[in-house]
C-alpha cells in the first residue's frame, strides 16, 4: 500500500474508534472534521519515509506512529486557531473547528486528539511494547514542555522571547518527532535522526515565513501577513525575500548531508529534495520585504 | 514513605522536568501553579491504595501512574475553568489558571499537563515496558473519547444528553482509571477493578452534587449552586437531600462488596469507608431541595 494510503487508513481507524459507542455526537463529528481532509500530511510522510529507509520491519507500529504524530499536529492546529491565539476563521480551506462547532467543542477536540495520539501508541504496544513506550516518550517530549510545541506556543506569551528555543519548539519539534519516531518504529536508535528532523523543521519554518510574507494564501491554507500583523518573528522580515530563499536552500542541503547511513539513504535524500521543491514559493507573489 | 508523600514527590518531579532548560518561564510557572497545592489527591490515593493492596512490586511504576493520573485531573480542572466552559474565578481557593495567567497560557497549561502525564508513563517503561504501555492505553481511554472525561465534558454541548454516558465519562472515568491503573502498576489484570472505580466515581458524583446544592463552598473549593444555574443534572435536584444521602451510602456499600480478592482487601475496604466519611456533607448546610 502506498505510504499516503497507509497514513490515511491509520488515521481514519483511530478517529473511527474515538467515535464509537457512547461518544457525544457533536464531539465525534468535530474529531473527524479536524482531521479530514488533511493538509499535506508532511510530518507522517517524513516519519514513514524514515521508517521505510530503516527497513520498516513492523509496519503496524510505523502506521500507529504516523497516525499519532498527525493527530498531535491536527490538535495543535485546532487549539492555535482558537480566539485566544490566532482567532483564525479558516483552516485548510474550510471554517476552523471553533467556528464550525463553537469554542467548547474546539477545546475538547484538541484535548481528545492529543489523548487519541497516545491511545494509538498504547495499542501498538500489542506488537512491540518497548518500541511503543519509546514512541510515547519521544512524542510526549516533542509535544509538551520544555522542548515541544506547547513550549513553542508558550513563548508567544512571554515579553522577552528566546528566538532559538521558540523556533526549535514551535515548528522544529514535530519534525524531529517525525524522523526519530520513524527510526524507533523500525527498531533503530532515535538520536542520530534528530539533526535531519531539526533541519527539515527549519526549512519548513523559512518556507512558511516566505508564504506568509509573500501572500501565497492558497498554498498556505490560512490568512497571510499574520506574522507582521502579530509582531511575530519571520525570516523574510529578517533576511529579505532573496536571503530567505537562499537560506531555505542551504538548510535543505544540510538536511540531506545529515541523513544517517541506512538502507534507504538515497530514497530519503530524494524525498527531502521533493519537499524542497514543494516548499519553495511559487508566483504570483507580491513582495513585502 | 507514606502514600501521600510518594504522590507529591512523583508529581513535583514530573513538573520539575517540564520546567527545565528552555521552558518559557510563564508557562513553566503556570504548570506548577495548576498542580500545587493540590486538592485531596483522591484519584492517585485510590490508585496507590489499589497498587498497595495488590503487592506494589514496582513502586516506581505505581508512583508514575499516580502522578500521570493526577496530572490529567489537574489539566481537566484548568480547561473546565476556562471562560468557554465554567468561567470560574476560583479553584482550590486561589484564582483559576486563566485568571492568574490569561487564557492562552491556561489552554497551553492544560495541553502540557495532558502530554506530561503520558511522558511520565513513557519514562516508567524503563522499569516495565509492558505495564507502562498498558497504563498509557488505560489512561488514554479514560481521558479521551468515547469513554473518557473529554467525552463526558462533550455531552454538555449536546442538545439531548445521554445521562448515563455523561456521568460515567465525566466523573466516573478517572476513578475507573485509578483502580485499574493501580492494579496494572502492580502487575495485575485491570478488568476486575472496573466496578470498584465506577462505584467510587458514582459516590463522588452524588457527594459533589450534595455539596453543590447544599452550598458547602469551603469543602467544594469552587462556587456552589452551579448545577442549578447551568441546568446540569444533579442528584439532589433529582432525589432530594435525604434521597441523595441514602444513595451515597448504598453506592459505597456496593463499592466495598465489589473489591476483588487480593492481599490488601480489608485495607481497601477501610479506605473506601474513610472516603465515605470524607464525602458525606457536613453542616452548616442550607437545604435547596
| pLDDT classification of A289: cutoffs 50, 70, 90 | very low
Domain boundaries, chain B: 3-279
Instruction: Quote the pLDDT of residue B284.
Output: 41
Task: Find the mean pLDDT for residues A229-241.
Answer: 80
Question: In this predicted model, what pLDDT tens digit does every residue of A188-219 receive, in sequence order?
Answer: 999 999 999 999 999 988 888 888 888 766 66
Answer whether B199's CB lies under 8 Å from B251's CB: yes
- Find the angle CA(A175)-CA(B143)-CA(B89) to the nearest 5 degrees: 95
- Structure ipTM: 0.92
Of the candidates A123, A140, A145, the beta carbon closest to that of B118 is on A140
Instruction: Quote the pLDDT of residue B289.
Output: 39
Question: In this predicted model, what pLDDT tens digit does every residue of B37-76 receive, in sequence order?
Answer: 998 899 999 999 999 999 999 999 999 999 999 999 999 9
Per-residue DSSP letters for A112-155? Answer: HHHHHHHHHHHHHTTT-HHHHHHHHHHHHHHHSTTTSHHHHHHG
Cell numbers for A238: 529578517
Task: Find the mean pLDDT for residues A79-106.
Answer: 96
Q: Which of B150, B162, B184 to mutate to test the interface with A (most CBs of A within 10 A)?
A: B150
Task: Find the mean pLDDT for residues A13-35.
Answer: 96
Q: B270 CB contacts (<8 Å, ≥6 apart)?
A: none
Task: Find the mean pLDDT for residues A154-170.
Answer: 90
- Nearest-Cα residue of chain A relative to residue B117: A140
Answer whether B47's CB lies under 8 Å from B135's CB: no
Integer Cα distance of A208 and A47 in angstroms: 20
- Find the angle CA(A90)-CA(A94)-CA(A100) to the nearest 5 degrees: 85
Of the candidates A31, A121, A125, the beta carbon closest to that of B145 is on A31
Integer Cα distance of B27 and B105 in angstroms: 6
| pLDDT of B217 over the 70 cut | no
Question: In this predicted model, what pLDDT tens digit does every residue of B68-109 receive, in sequence order?
Answer: 999 999 999 999 999 999 999 999 999 999 999 999 999 999
Q: B168 CB contacts (<8 Å, ≥6 apart)?
A: A22, B147, B152, B198, B201
Q: Which of A115, A116, A131 to mutate to test the interface with B (most CBs of B within 10 A)?
A: A115
Asked if B21 and A122 come within 8 Å (Cβ–Cβ), the reply is: no
Residue that the C-alpha cell 500583523 belongs to: A229
Of the candidates B119, B125, B158, the beta carbon closest to that of A26 is on B158
Integer Cα distance of A250 and A198 in angstroms: 14
Integer Cα distance of A201 and A110 in angstroms: 22
Task: Find the mean pLDDT for residues A127-154.
Answer: 96
| pLDDT classification of A288: cutoffs 50, 70, 90 | very low
Instruction: Quote the pLDDT of residue B285.
Output: 43
Considering only A168-177, A224-233, B40-49, which range has the smallest mean pLDDT? A224-233
| pLDDT classification of B288: cutoffs 50, 70, 90 | very low
| More confident: A223 or B108 | B108
Pair type for strands A90-91 and A94-95 = antiparallel
| pLDDT of B25 over the 70 cut | yes
Of the candidates A26, A139, A150, the beta carbon closest to that of B108 is on A150
| pLDDT of A178 over the 50 cut | yes
Rounded to the nearest integer, the mean pLDDT of chain B is 91
Rounded to the nearest integer, the mean pLDDT of chain A is 91
- CATH, domain B3-279, list 1.20.1510.10, 1.10.10.10, 2.70.150.10, 1.10.600.10: 1.10.600.10
Backbone angles phi, psi at A102, to 5 degrees: 90, 160
Question: In this predicted model, what pLDDT tens digit does every residue of B218-272 receive, in sequence order?
Answer: 666 666 777 777 777 788 888 889 999 899 989 999 999 999 999 999 999 998 8
Residues of B in contact with A137 (CB under 8 A): 119, 122-123, 125
Amino acid at each position: 500500500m502506498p505510504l499516503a494510503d497507509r497514513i490515511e487508513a491509520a488515521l481514519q481507524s483511530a478517529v473511527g474508534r474515538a467515535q464509537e459507542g457512547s461518544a457525544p455526537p457533536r464531539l465525534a463529528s468535530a474529531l473527524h472534521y479536524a482531521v479530514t481532509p488533511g493538509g499535506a500530511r508532511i510530518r507522517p510522510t517524513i516519519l514513514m519515509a524514515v521508517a521505510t529507509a530503516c527497513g520498516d520491519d513492523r509496519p503496524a507500529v510505523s502506521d500507529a506512529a504516523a497516525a499519532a504524530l498527525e493527530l498531535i499536529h491536527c490538535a495543535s492546529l485546532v487549539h492555535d486557531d482558537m480566539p485566544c491565539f490566532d482567532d483564525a476563521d479558516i483552516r485548510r480551506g474550510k471554517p476552523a473547528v471553533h467556528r464550525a462547532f463553537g469554542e467548547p467543542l474546539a477545546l475538547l477536540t484538541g484535548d481528545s486528539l492529543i489523548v487519541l495520539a497516545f491511545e494509538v501508541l498504547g495499542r501498538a504496544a500489542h506488537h512491540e511494547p518497548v518500541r511503543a513506550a519509546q514512541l510515547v516518550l519521544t512524542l510526549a517530549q516533542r509535544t509538551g514542555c520544555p522542548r515541544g510545541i506547547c513550549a513553542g506556543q508558550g513563548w508567544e506569551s512571554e515579553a522577552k522571547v528566546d528566538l532559538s528555543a521558540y523556533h526549535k519548539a514551535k515548528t522544529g519539534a514535530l519534525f524531529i518527532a517525525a524522523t526519530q519516531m520513524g527510526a524507533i518504529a523500525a527498531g533503530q536508535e532515535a538520536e542520530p535522526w534528530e539533526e535531519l528532523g531539526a533541519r527539515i523543521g527549519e526549512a519548513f519554518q523559512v518556507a512558511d515565513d516566505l508564504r506568509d510574507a509573500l501572500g501565497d494564501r492558497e498554498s498556505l491554507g490560512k490568512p497571510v501577513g499574520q506574522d507582521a500583523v502579530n509582531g511575530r518573528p519571520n525570516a523574510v522580515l529578517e533576511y529579505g525575500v532573496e536571503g530567505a530563499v537562499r537560506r531555505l536552500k542551504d538548510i535543505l542541503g544540510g538536511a540531506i548531508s545529515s541523513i544517517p547511513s541506512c538502507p534507504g539513504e538515497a530514497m530519503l535524500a530524494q524525498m527531502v529534495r521533493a519537499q524542497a521543491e514543494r516548499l519553495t514559493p511559487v508566483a504570483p507573489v507580491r513582495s513585502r520585504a
